[in-house]
Structure 1
């Protein structure tokens, strides 16, 4: 169950790289890399694991994955006829100042969201698949413009489904303000303990009501929901990458009772922690 870091063939002087595989075998290990990845798979039957998400795929699967987000596809077929087009690119494929321009704000938000993995649904999926098939050498200016058009279309689409419950813990959120960083870092370092809203509010000199409003505005979640999601993201990592007993994982991640732990996990993932671990191992070994 070890996760491997992939070194991609993307060159520093290229905006992106296109990789194509016919009759893909999907025989690689679960992995991650430092680059963003737009992945189009056609004629596929199998499963996809992205972060803590495990899903059966449709015959055409289109995903956008952020840096350091572990992922793998597993085919159900002995002889695969699936075709894969993978586009990998770095966050700074546009200069940092360029991404700050107003016209790129939606693409910037898309890339931020992709840190949790995004599955693209129809009708956008079919539209983007046609454009991806037309992409050629990234050294051609027309190809670069088409790539930007693809990202723009994805950023405007409502056919996006977020996959994983939390972004990779390894990925630093550079654009967070100082105050929200103080709070989120405290949560990351103390999620195994009981954290009171009062404590966090006092840390940044706010009343509880003002803090609640500020936190939700900055993160899009209430403090309680954010803390729960962070704990559950640690839980899924421990379930998938270690053999630590489930009751110990519950204690290690700050849940007061085992029943509350099981209930919260099942509400989030649709299965018990025990079944999630079994499913994860089975999917990797198939």
Structure 2
């Protein structure tokens, strides 16, 4: 469960690979020198890239830079999840891009990808369509298609930087605590009253030291992270047959009014509003 280096194999004669992984029951907290473009489609999920831990609804398109630790995006998703992952050989465009001024925008995009970039709107829609088309084109045309995708991303203003500092692996290598142990504890206990003293003891830290460690790793307190996880799980249950009141207790909240208030703070709408809007999309 500690950070692993993923070894990526490429087909001979190909500079990138495009595939659809499925690792739902695996905690794969990993990094690799290859830059990666990921599209994930699910009712709801959690992304963890570098120090950023945040939720997404419906889908997400992400560009992840070289050696940035990240968790597999289908981890513990309980509903249908589809993914496309595009991984580029290390430095495969560098010799082409650096001397050519027309590629300046792409070069700058790849240079800032270490922050973790999330794309939305028309950018996401167009790029996903082009990623699908890459699966049926020949080697040369697919390479040109990838360059077109990178140019679209480079010129987009529908982008969010997920980290505000360098979180490449050199920063994480000093961390000896297994984040996977913490994730598993939260997943198994989010519907109960979580005990920070118990999880601190599990990873051999005092409660105060654990709280400092967790805040440094995630930029969130342990309580805030658990509540964030509960809200993300609540979104899944709200789109099933449970009522708002049932969901409140299913995810571990003891007060309906507090659940409603916290949900609106995190999501921007009440549980009832969220359910009505997204159920209409699913049923439509």
TM-score w.r.t. structure 1 length? 0.59
| Cα distance between partner residues in 2 of 1:237 and 1:161 | 27
Report the 3-state secondary structure (helix = DSSP H, G, I; strand = E; otherwise coil) of the residue aligned with 1:39: strand
Equivalence map 1:246-265=2 (5 Å): none
**Residue 27 (structure 1) shift:** 2.7
* Residue 161 of structure 1 pairs with residue 174 of structure 2: no
Contact kept in structure 2, 1:69 and 1:115, CA below 8 Å? yes
Q: How many residues align?
A: 204
Moved more, 67-76 or 48-57: 67-76
Contact kept in structure 2, 1:116 and 1:163, CA below 8 Å? yes
Contact kept in structure 2, 1:52 and 1:237, CA below 8 Å? no
Give the match for residue 212 of structure 1. Answer: none
**Residue 115 (structure 1) shift:** 0.8
Give the match for residue 132 of structure 2. Answer: 133
**Residue 99 (structure 1) shift:** 2.5
Report the CA distance shift for 1:246/1:53 in structure 2 as closer, same or farther (over 3 A).
farther
Equivalence map 1:45-194=2 (5 Å): 45-72=44-71, 73-75=73-75, 77-78=77-78, 80-96=79-95, 98-136=97-135, 140-170=139-169
Report the 3-state secondary structure (helix = DSSP H, G, I; strand = E; otherwise coil) of the residue aligned with 1:43: strand
**Residue 77 (structure 1) shift:** 4.1
| Cα distance between partner residues in 1 of 2:205 and 2:115 | 25
Contact kept in structure 2, 1:49 and 1:55, CA below 8 Å? yes
Report the 3-state secondary structure (helix = DSSP H, G, I; strand = E; otherwise coil) of the residue aligned with 2:166: coil
| Cα distance between partner residues in 1 of 2:116 and 2:225 | 20
Contact kept in structure 1, 2:68 and 2:167, CA below 8 Å? yes
Give the match for residue 26 of structure 1. Answer: 24
**Residue 34 (structure 1) shift:** 1.5
Give the match for residue 9 of structure 2. Answer: 9
Where does the alignment leave 5 or more consecutive residues of structure 2 unmatched? 180-202, 232-284
Alignment deviations for residues 73-126 of structure 1 (CA, whole Å, 9 cap, x no partner) = 245543x42111110003421242532321111111111111111111112111
| Cα distance between partner residues in 2 of 1:166 and 1:240 | 22
Contact kept in structure 2, 1:51 and 1:71, CA below 8 Å? yes
| Cα distance between partner residues in 2 of 1:250 and 1:53 | 17
Q: RMSD of the alignment, in Å? A: 3.6
Report the 3-state secondary structure (helix = DSSP H, G, I; strand = E; otherwise coil) of the residue aligned with 2:58: coil
| Cα distance between partner residues in 2 of 1:13 and 1:168 | 32
| Cα distance between partner residues in 2 of 1:111 and 1:137 | 25
Alignment deviations for residues 120-145 of structure 1 (CA, whole Å, 9 cap, x no partner) = 11121111111111112675211111
| Cα distance between partner residues in 1 of 2:74 and 2:100 | 39
| Cα distance between partner residues in 2 of 1:145 and 1:160 | 23
Contact kept in structure 2, 1:33 and 1:69, CA below 8 Å? yes
| Cα distance between partner residues in 1 of 2:131 and 2:212 | 46
Report the 3-state secondary structure (helix = DSSP H, G, I; strand = E; otherwise coil) of the residue aligned with 2:57: coil
Report the CA distance shift for 1:98/1:4 in structure 2 as closer, same or farther (over 3 A).
same
Where does the alignment leave 5 or more consecutive residues of structure 1 unmatched? 172-232, 253-261
**Residue 50 (structure 1) shift:** 0.5
Report the 3-state secondary structure (helix = DSSP H, G, I; strand = E; otherwise coil) of the residue aligned with 1:57: strand
Report the CA distance shift for 1:119/1:16 in structure 2 as closer, same or farther (over 3 A).
same
Contact kept in structure 2, 1:117 and 1:163, CA below 8 Å? yes
